[in-house]
Structure 1
Amino acid sequence: MTTENGHLISPLLSPQRLAMIFGLALMYFLAGRLGLLLAIPPGYATAIFPPAGFALAALLLYGNRIWPGVLLGSFALNLSMAPHFQNVFSHTGLVALSIAIGATMQGLFGAALIRRFVGFPTPLAEEWEIFKFFMLGGPVSCLVNSVIGTSTLMAAGAITADAFAFNWWTWWVGDVIGVFIATPLVFIALAKPRLLWKQRVLSVALPLLLTLAVVITLFVHASSWESQQQHADFRDETKNVATALHSDLQVYLAILASIERHFVASGGEVSRQQFSIFVDEALGRHPGLQALEWLPVIKEVDRAGFELALQNEGFSGFQLLDRNMSSKVIPAIKAAEYVPVAYVEPFKGNESALGYNVASNPVRLDALVRARDTGHAVATGRIKLVQDTSDQFGFLIFLPVYDRIGKLTNAAERAQHIQGYAAAVLRVGDMLGVHAKGLASRDIALRVIDEAAPDASLQVLYQSPNWGEATAQSALGHSSNLEIGGRTWRIEFMPLPHYLVMHRAWQAWATLAGGLLFTGMLGALLLLITGHTGKVQKIVDERTNELRIILDNVVDGIVTIDQSGRVQSFNRAAETIFGYQANEIIGKIFKVLMPEQFHEEYDDYLDNFRKTGTTRISGKVREMVGQRKDGSAFPIDLAVSHSFHHEQPLFICVVRDITERKRIDRMKSEFVSTVSHELRTPLTSISGALGLLAGGALNGNPEQVKQMVDLAHKNSLRLASLINDLLDMDKLVAGKMKLELTEQPLMPLVEQTIEAIHAYGEKYQVNFKLVSREEVEVRVEGSRLIQVLNNFLSNAAKFSPRGGEVEIAVRKAGDAVRVEVTDHGEGVPAAFRERIFQKFSQADSSDTRQKGGTGLGLAISKELMEGMHGVVGFESEEGQGACFYFELPISTGKG
């Protein structure tokens, strides 16, 4: 197995790989927690999920081998959202694992698609490349976990079927936008080519992050407004219930008050029948009332009479009753006073309450005492009604009835005059029935809490059957307080999951999703723009580099000048020509490159341009004089053109050093003079000799005739040598001279040349001496080697003092053989040494007249020797003579 991209498993978990895996897991987890802050309730999906982008980017950058980082990060993220996680194999653990596997599969699938159809690494610079990258990495690959994750949550019961479509949609959109935004940001930080991606920090990452911040800010505001609106709508749906409950309770209190007034007005003499008639209408209008009761206060001494009176009314065996700890009915335990149920309407269904001593129950007794002592209606806490066989809770409201009309100022007076209590018996479920059903039909749960209850377990008076489903959605719930009979009830309203689905607000989500989608598209657009800019910049850089190479390698100096006359650029050729480095001259006035006598003319040109906008020298080549850094003046050709750079005029000066051209012109002039002299002199001699012979001036003197003929022959040979030199030079320059190289001994050629030039040496009274020998073979054309050596020897003879000696030495020099010709003349002048092998070069034109020659011999010798794979050179000290030599490879006999 390998660790290359595209392989799932590496055979070795190196520390570096482990670090990348855990680093990716940590980044996935943290980014996921941040993304979930934008989740839209009641689901788990968020409109942006950056980990999807981080996972894709990491798998592309570092290969599929770090896929465990995605699995671990997603698993930890989903576990962190579960409040009751116990172990990996629990229900919650399996859900988290399933979602983590989906996230891993999604990242691997997206990376595979991009590698296959886009290629990676990629600079994301082309339109089609960017489109394919984001389509495959976003909408296509993100289908994987949106389906797996949402299906898992629904199968686990975390979301309902009603919420599946929305959660799938937001999950998919969140992952897609996460890829659109997070992936480019990771690439900018880590991807290659670094130069391109690093340049995108300011042009892509910064606008992307700023836009993201603006979108999230807008989402927070939109979400806050939307939340307020949802809360307001929810309160509007429930406030009528609280108002209706309050109204109902006020009606019940009013009914009790009317009963109290009826008893007071009748002096306490109200019969059972009268009570029934009095309350019948109220009971008919208010079905929430379980019963209305009259509870007289009976002293112990009056108990027997009270029991007998009710027995006489037809209630055979009537007696006062209590309930024991087991809620069984027993005769009332003897007490100072009793508060029994004397009248109860409707009687049917409430028969079991008749005779019950309400004061025997601590909860009821507490309410009775408070009602008696305060003179106000008092409600009990939740109780189990004596006459009720259902599971719902009830409560009682007691209103004291005193035996006289008038103001009682304190508890003692009220206790002294208490006659009994008008009581309303209510079952909370029945009282809330209509309202609870209405709320349930709108998917709203209701709970009533008695905040005055001494124990939390006794606080709940009523709650909807599906209240447990609603508690997870407490953000939207609200409550209102209701004061009843000295107690405070908290009426709580909570939305059920279906309510949230049906009343889901899309504005905040649409704002977030639309803004994030815009951000992602902006990122893609910026990538395209920067990629195009990068390509253009690359082309510009290449062209600039090419131009720079051209400018730095052209032989002409190129100098640019602004309208103030200051140098803006200075190429390498200009550095060579003027002796300045570019950094020395840029920013200085151009006229420092001219002798002072030309400064005024230069200033006139600039002044004229500033005034007229035209230049008299633009487009023309002028011969002028330049000045080097060392102060020396030299001739130049100057061509000036002008252009505009950033709307400012710019002069482009092309400078050519014509010192060499001037020297060549001078050499040509001297050559013409030399050739004229070399031609005219022998022709004059020949013409004169032939004229004497033709005119008979020698009178047939054989000796004189012979001298004239010899003179003519000698000068004709001189002319032939001159013509041959010119022809050889022409062939060499044109590349038409073909050398036929053969292997042959060197020494015979040297000796033959010395022998042939012996007479020439006698002419100059110079002796040729061979001082050393080497018996080697060389691959040459013999006649041309003799021509080169002959030129060296004749020059040595001409420039040697009379009676001098020219030494010829043949020596080995490594794998080559070196032939040296040494004279003892004046040597080669220093100024002439660099151009001694150039055509027409002579130390002094006067030498031409004195020594003869055209200045072509050494140039021809150099070309011939190089054609035979050899080299020529010289060594000289002025006044000490010169040594001219050539070197040839020694032949090995292998052809």
Structure 2
Amino acid sequence: MKDVFPNSSVRYPVMMGLTLGLGIGLSVGAAWLVSQWEASRRQAQFQQQIENLSTALQRSLNRYTDVLTFLYDYYQVTEEPVSRQDFARFVARSLSTYPGIQALEWAPLVRQGDRATFEAKVQAEGYPNFEITELSTENRLQRAKERAEYIPVTYVAPFLNNEAALGYDLSSGATRAAAIAPARASGKIMATERIRLVQEPRDQFGFLVVLPLYSNGVVPPDQPTREAEFAGILLGVFRVADVVEEVLQPLSYEIDFALYDQNASSKRQFLGQYEAAGKSVVAGPTSLVQPHPAVCPRPADCTRLLTLGQRQWQVVFAPAAAYGLRRSYGAPLTLLTGLLLTGSLALFLHNLQAELVRTRQLGELKLRFFSMASHELRTPLSTILLSAESLREDMARSQTGPAQTKLDRILLTARHMGQQIADLLTLTRAEAGKLEFNPVLLDAVQFCQQVIDEVQPQVSQPLSFSHPPEPIKAFWDRRLGRSLLTNLLLNAANYSSSDSSIQVSLSSDREVATLTVQDFGRGIPTADLASIREAFQRGSNVGDRPGSGLGLAIVHTAVTLHRGTWHIDSVEGEGTGVTVQLPLE
């Protein structure tokens, strides 16, 4: 026998070396790719998380500035001047809902000539010591010096812990004035730089948001008119830590970040640092928040901007200590798996080399077996040839009688074997997903009549066919349809007595065609109905009737490919009816 693997003893070391080299190289490469994928996934996850945090922070800032907008709308729709009690009642809900509010205030514009009257009016409301104040150089409240106009805090809520703000001239402080002046000139909401909230029990920064009001109720179209009709300021004092902590309570990300005011008069101004470990904001950084290169290859990737009253706050994110950047085992596991597979392949090649020797020995045995088998097969083949010669001589003497019977028997057996081979091939192709489905437009009545005419000579029972007078147009696969109906008819004939009839009926509702084949033979036991559609399954009452058990499996395959349905109605000893419903399109 010719050697299938020539020079295998020489090629084996080379093959083993190539396998090990290629396997180790692929393992290292796969581990590197996995590490890159993990890094990319880690970066994408971190970016999504800081995007969620940024969105939550911006939403929180918007909610707090909206408080002033709602208060502004209240002033717009109120026909009478808003009293101190009305102001307190309206803002009570906001004060209870938003923990970051330090105070909400109303400060009207008071000109120098109206100062005395204004102060007397507020004193008459129950504040006998009220006066317009300002901070001295020693940072103490004192009576405001005379100037052309004042913007004193007149309403403040809550009043508790904010008593000192009552009467304070907002335009006297540089920080507040820096926001009031552009707000007054533009009609837009403005925020201040950070302020230190000395009255707070915890150390944190705050910020102010101001919204101007005008005497005619709307923002005038030009700056001179806005200056002339300016009526006062609505002001909110908010605490940075409380504004941030409130919105981050539901988010459990192990991410630290620092807040900076980008528009501060000095260099970038620190506002607070959120520490994920304690879920709190501190006014002084315990450690500088720096973007981590593992999740932020560029520092800008970990930076976001928030908008607050024409100002921008910068947020710098970094993973906290508990974020778990080093918990990555994909690359080592990939490398280990690759090395194990390489080792397994090398072991397989080693075993294959040993198997080659046994293959040569088996090849020699196979050669001897075929030599012997070919000799043994000559005897039955000679018998078949002699029978064929005898059949030919018989047919030469007479066209009827024994020779014709032999010929009919051979043809019947050949057709039966051909049908079985076709059925096996159909099922095999169907299981492999390679069975072709080629529907064509045909007349279902003519098609069924043609199949019945082909089957009638093969069975002894009469086949009757009932159908509507008009044609039934359908898109069916001819080959599968013929196999379906042929198997149903042959099954019915095989398990029925020779003198009983087999009834075939076809009907249609313009969408689905219904084909029924009814026999009056042995029927199928109830216990066998569940499995009778499977290949090589036959009823327990078939007795000595020949059959392969493929017929109903072929029917099921053909119906499924046509997107149809079918069911069997059978009573043992009374007969079987198979109903098939196939879509016309």
TM-score (normalizing by structure 2): 0.49
Q: Relative contact order, CA 8 A, sep 6+: which one is greater?
A: 2
Q: Which has the larger radius of gyration?
A: 1
TM-score (normalizing by structure 1): 0.33
